[in-house]
Structure 1
Amino acid sequence: MTMPPLALEWLSDGREYAIARLDPDATIPAWASDARPGIVAITRTPDELAIILPAARLPEPRPIASLGWVGLRVVGTLDFGLVGILASLTGALAGASVSVCAVSTFDTDLLFVRHADVGRAVEALSSVADVGRLRGSGPGGG
């Protein structure tokens, strides 16, 4: 299956995101599982319970967390038969030394980059995707 042209846009909520780490046997906390606005991704592995969510939702005292992430998404729903989408996006970011946290759901592909790296991220991604929706809007003004 041929990969269609990719387009990216900022998450419409404009929030700063955090990536939190809890013990692997922790119960999913209410601050991560309620219905407040914002993207939330919860992943349990044998080593951790990882939660990506708007930073403002983190409780005090804070769990171990990496702060200062902003989200963007691939526009549209992509078929599971497509190969290399994340590789092309993350490869471009790696080439520009931009850290990325990627999350895929059934309908959505998300990339989280550090706010400090927004300019370099947009420039790097422009080599593999339409970034017109990122320029002049969102974190750092693109």
Structure 2
Amino acid sequence: MTESQSTEQTGSTSEASTPNGATESLHPTYTLQQFPEKLAVVKLPPGAEIPEWAESSSLFSITATATETSLVCAGRNVPTKQVAHKGMTAFAVMGTLDFALTGVLAALLAPLAEAEISVFTISTYDTDWILVPVAKAEAAAEAWRRQGHTVDLAVPVKPTRKKKT
């Protein structure tokens, strides 16, 4: 599947007129959803258990390597002494991104780099998530809109989890 074919699943391709009146593809555009929760990116030691204070939100992610465990969770209960970067806003690329699709993050991160907005990214099986500081969320949305992307407010869905017995 080519990038332009896959882009139809998640967005569209911007077009421009050439001198002879034909149109050419400039870059793919995407629809992103902005989630309202304030998230935290937390550093835990390697092999750490998930702490009781860690709360699920629109995005709850655990990444473990040989040298650290990183946790993205709701920021409201993260202890003040915990090594964490709090106050992050999450944006998700809408739709399912095909694994053969290339350049999605490049298209979305370049406008943020130009606007000097730092990011923390996470990819799931279906899509990509981009976290930015809460204070820069509106600037990020505007940077994307200037590039032809769409940014909508998300209505979070609470995940259903079985209670431990």
Q: Deviations over 1:20-40 (max 9, x none)?
A: 0011232232333x7x44421
**Cα distance in 2 for residues equivalent to 1:51 and 1:37:** 12
Do the aligned residues in 2 keep the contact of 1:7 with 1:129 (CA within 8 Å)? no
Change (3 A) 1:37 1:8: closer
2:34 alignment counterpart: 10
For the pair shown, the structure with the greater C-alpha radius of gyration is: 2
CA distance in 1, matches of 2:81, 2:119: 22
CA contact (8 A) 1:68 1:115 kept: yes
Q: TM-score, normalised by structure 2?
A: 0.70
Match of 1:117 in 2: 136
Paired AA for residue 2 in structure 1: E
TM-score with structure 1 setting the length: 0.80
What are structure 1's unaligned runs of at least 5 residues? Answer: none
Name whichever structure is richer in strand by fraction: 2
Percent of pairs identical after alignment? 32
Pair 47,2 (structure 1): closer, same or farther in 2 beyond 3 Å: same
1:60-119 deviation digits (Å, cap 9, x = unpaired):
354100011011111111111100001111111111100111111011211111011123
Does 2:76 correspond to 1:75?
no
In structure 2, do the counterparts of structure 1 residues 97 and 30 end up closer, same or farther at CA, with 3 Å as the change threshold? Answer: same
Aligned to 1:95: 114
CA RMSD of aligned residues (A): 2.2
The alignment of Structure 1 onto Structure 2 pairs a total of residues equal to 131
* Equivalent position SS for 2:91: strand
Stretches of structure 2 lacking an aligned partner (at least 5 in a row): 13-29, 156-165
Kept in 2: contact 1:8–1:129 (CA 8 A): no
